Amino acid sequence: MPITPATATHHSSSGTADAILLELVDEDGVTIGTAEKLSAHQPPGRLHRAFSVFLFDERGRLLLQQRALGKYHSPGVWSNTCCGHPYPGEAPFAAAARRTFEELGVSPSLLAEAGTVRYNHPDPASGLVEQEYNHLFVGLVQAPPRPDPEEVAETALVSPAELMERHGRDTFSAWFMTVLDAARPAVRELTGPSAGW
């Protein structure tokens, strides 16, 4: 496995793990600095770079993940295939591919850019704020997921009708519908009209 900022062990001189830094951006997505991950999510939130991935199988079903119960932010909620934050200086595309493999144990057989969306979503459970400039990606997955239990509690492949049923029954991330709606044109182009997205 290649050494990445996520797999390497980083310790400061005091022996503690280094803080994870996010890229702060302006309203146009231009990098203006960095901030520690948790502090960037404290109310009112600081606008930072993020990504969201939507992977589909050969039948046009969306791969969802339920976030692990041990996560400090939005634990146990359902969300899109993968989402996260590039490291400072890391291309969003590279971060999206990296985190999809780290969280779900799969590499997309196709991954394409699907635009950006900017939003501000407070998380009612934790009180943290998602103030994000989010890069969207859509793609195909052909291998079964092998989730990291520290990151993902469960996965599911759903049709649009099954998603709506789940969305009415289960708790989803605060940002899920915003990123899905923003990615829909690219999702429809990828999956074709018969998939129903």
Residue 91 neighbours by CB under 8 Å, 6+ apart: none
Map residue 195 onto helix, strand or coil: helix
Active site members? 83, 132
DSSP per-residue string spanning 116-181: EEEEEEE-TTT--EEEEEEEEEEEE--S-----TTTEEEEEEE-HHHHHHHHHHS-B-TTHHHHHH
Phi then psi for residue 51, to 5 deg, are -140, 155
**Angle at Cα 129 formed by Cα 6 and Cα 125, nearest 5°?**
100
144 is written with which tokens? Answer: 């079964």
Dump strand ranges (E) for 13-149.
Answer: 21-25, 31-36, 48-56, 62-67, 78-79, 82-84, 110-122, 129-140
Give the amino acid at 120: N
195 vs 163: CA distance, rounded Å: 12
